[in-house]
């Protein structure tokens, strides 16, 4: 699937299969929030991010309106993906059970902190939010740009 932000010209590509897998992980933890890392690569002079995989945390804290992932073991897994598949960390995803796929103020603060972290080498991290309901889901995909979360919009195949 292709998503674009018309204001910046930035694009995001992700497979239906991966989106469905993320939704399945979220439904397993329903009605609590859940999430993980997004891995991918940048192409087209870094104007397009291709999301290829996710890493799930081994430890996390969550409730119906809160998710905090642990970082135990994630660095080593990231290094393996980089070495073997040339994939890098591009952002985060998490669920909003029975709530809209729109970032909260906490989400915005987290993305800003992420972009400012000297150990993270991306300026525009991706944030994918899945609105999880018992039988269905919806997604919102955003990226940090100049301190604000801008939304990618689904683009029909051309």
**For the segment 61-97, what is each residue's pLDDT rounded down to a tens digit?**
999 999 999 999 898 999 899 898 999 999 999 999 9
Residue 63: per-residue pLDDT:
96
Query: Average pLDDT over the chain, rounded to whole?
Result: 94
Q: Report the pLDDT value the prediction gives residue 134, as an integer from 0 to 100.
A: 80
146 φ/ψ angles, rounded to the nearest 5 degrees = 55, 40
- Proportion of the chain above pLDDT 90, given as a percent: 84
Alpha carbon distance 134, 145 (integer Å): 33
Burial of 147 (0-12, 13-18, 19+ CB in 10 A): exposed
pTM of the predicted model as reported, rounded to 2 decimal places: 0.93
Cα 93 to chain centroid, rounded:
3
pLDDT at 19: 97
Give the pLDDT of residue 157.
56
Q: Could you tell me if 57 and 36 are in contact, meaning their C-beta atoms sit under 8 angstroms apart?
A: yes
């Amino acid at each position: 699937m292709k998503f674009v932000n018309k204001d910046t010209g930035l694009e995001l590509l992700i497979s239906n299969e991966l989106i469905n897998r993320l939704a399945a992980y979220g439904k397993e933890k329903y009605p609590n929030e859940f999430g993980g890392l997004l891995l991918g690569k940048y192409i087209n002079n870094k104007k397009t991010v291709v999301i290829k995989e996710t890493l799930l945390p081994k430890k996390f804290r969550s409730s119906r309106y809160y998710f905090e992932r642990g970082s135990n073991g994630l660095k080593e897994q990231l290094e393996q993906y980089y070495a073997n598949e040339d994939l890098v960390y591009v952002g985060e995803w998490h669920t909003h059970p029975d709530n809209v796929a729109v970032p909260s103020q906490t989400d915005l603060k987290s993305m800003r902190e992420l972009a400012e972290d000297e150990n993270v080498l991306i300026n525009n991290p991706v944030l994918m939010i899945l609105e999880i309901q018992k039988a269905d889901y919806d997604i919102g995909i955003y990226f940090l740009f100049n301190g604000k979360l801008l939304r990618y919009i689904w683009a029909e195949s051309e």
